[in-house]
């Protein structure tokens, strides 16, 4: 089955639960709820950047049904049951919209917005389906097919991670890529001269995506990908560890990172929202690292730490 029908109901918030029940009883496997009130009491636990939302007394409920169910009859039946709620709820402003959705469209339509992007002096991210891109002599191309779940590699946190790798890698290093996601930082490390990369992600789906992306690029045999929770039980020492994860997760790995980074080696941490940066820096410094570089782009921070006894030239040394 390649297509689905969606029915979206705009209704007052008070009727949300009753209408959700009607949609599910009509055969929906679940209901997507969009409610501006969700952002009123949201706690910033992991450094999320929340969108600006205009508050409304209405919610939108969207239910999905297989295409073999007759949409007109299904919609009419749902509307009939909702109108029966008028004794209990104010139905002013009620609206009903239907749409036909193709699974292929969901998977492919977004790709038109992902174009080749030169991220650093040397590194350019190129969608795997691009066939006519003409690279300049100095460009190193990262071929990427991230899928919808793992981004395109052009987010500020990824950009700064790539800048950091470009500053640090000189050739021949061993790199650990923690929370590899699409695998973009692992591929970049090899392009910048790393001899071996060990990439970890706790998500099995991410591991599969990373493996697929890595195999699109040259020298992919230098990159080893496996599922793991941060650096727990890892024994492989490294010249560089890079992690582009949320701040509250980064602080959980600083002790293991210090254990695994070789003397005079580096720890790169990105994905840090501004008001969490001091927390991450303290955790890394408490583990024994020294802050060498801090990059800021908008609300995001990327920090580079060094494991060294020689503090000359290191910030704070």
Q: Picking from 59-68, 224-233, 281-290, which range would have the lowest pLDDT averaged per residue? A: 59-68
**Contact between 292 and 164 (Cβ < 8 Å):** no
Q: How far does the chain reach from its first CA to its final CA, in angstroms?
A: 63
Tell me the per-residue pLDDT of 284-308, one tens digit each, with 9 for 90 and over.
999 999 999 999 998 899 999 999 9
**Contact between 143 and 116 (Cβ < 8 Å):** no
- What is the rounded average pLDDT for all residues in the chain? 87
Residue 14 CB neighbour total at 10 angstroms:
13
pLDDT, mean of residues 165-191: 96
Of the pLDDT bands very low, low, confident and very high (cuts 50, 70, 90), residue 39 is low
Tell me the per-residue pLDDT of 94-114, one tens digit each, with 9 for 90 and over.
999 998 876 656 556 556 657
Could you tell me the maximum CA-CA distance found in the chain, to the nearest angstrom? Answer: 76
Q: Alpha-carbon distance 122 to 118, whole Å?
A: 8
pLDDT, mean of residues 218-246: 96
Q: Picking from 135-144, 158-167, 283-292, which range would have the lowest pLDDT averaged per residue? A: 135-144
**Contact between 148 and 113 (Cβ < 8 Å):** no
Regarding pTM above 0.75, the answer is no
For residue 32, the model assigns a pLDDT of: 85
Please determine, for residue 196, whether its predicted confidence score (pLDDT) is greater than 70. yes
pLDDT, mean of residues 275-281: 96
């Amino acid at each position: 089955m390649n297509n689905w029908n969606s029915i979206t109901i705009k209704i007052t918030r008070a009727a949300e639960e009753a209408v959700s029940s009607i949609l599910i009883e009509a055969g929906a496997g679940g209901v997507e709820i969009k409610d501006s009130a969700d952002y009123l009491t949201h706690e910033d636990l992991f450094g999320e950047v929340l969108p600006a939302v205009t508050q409304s007394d209405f919610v939108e409920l969207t239910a999905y049904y297989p295409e073999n169910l007759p949409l007109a009859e299904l919609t009419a039946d749902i509307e009939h049951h909702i109108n029966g709620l008028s004794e209990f709820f104010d139905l002013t402003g009620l609206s009903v919209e239907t749409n036909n959705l193709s699974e292929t469209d969901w998977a492919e339509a977004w790709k038109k917005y992902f174009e080749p992007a030169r991220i650093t002096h040397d590194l350019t991210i190129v969608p795997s389906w691009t066939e006519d891109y003409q690279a300049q002599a100095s460009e190193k191309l990262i071929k990427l097919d991230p899928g919808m779940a793992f981004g395109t590699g052009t987010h500020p946190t990824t950009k700064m991670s790539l800048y950091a790798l470009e500053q640090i890698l000189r050739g021949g290093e061993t790199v650990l890529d923690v929370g590899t996601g699409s695998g973009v930082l692992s591929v970049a490390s090899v392009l910048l001269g790393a001899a071996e990369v060990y990439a970890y992600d706790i998500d099995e789906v991410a591991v599969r995506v990373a493996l697929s992306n890595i195999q699109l690029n040259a020298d992919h045999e230098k990159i080893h990908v496996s599922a793991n929770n941060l650096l727990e039980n890892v024994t492989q020492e490294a010249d560089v560890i890079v992690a582009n994860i949320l701040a509250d997760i980064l602080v959980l790995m600083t002790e293991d990172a210090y254990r695994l980074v070789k003397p005079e080696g580096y720890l790169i941490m990105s994905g840090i929202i501004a008001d969490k940066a001091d927390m991450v820096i303290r955790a890394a410094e408490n583990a024994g690292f020294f802050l060498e570089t801090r990059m800021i782009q908008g609300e995001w921070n990327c920090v580079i730490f060094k494991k060294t006894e020689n503090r000359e030239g290191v910030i704070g040394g």
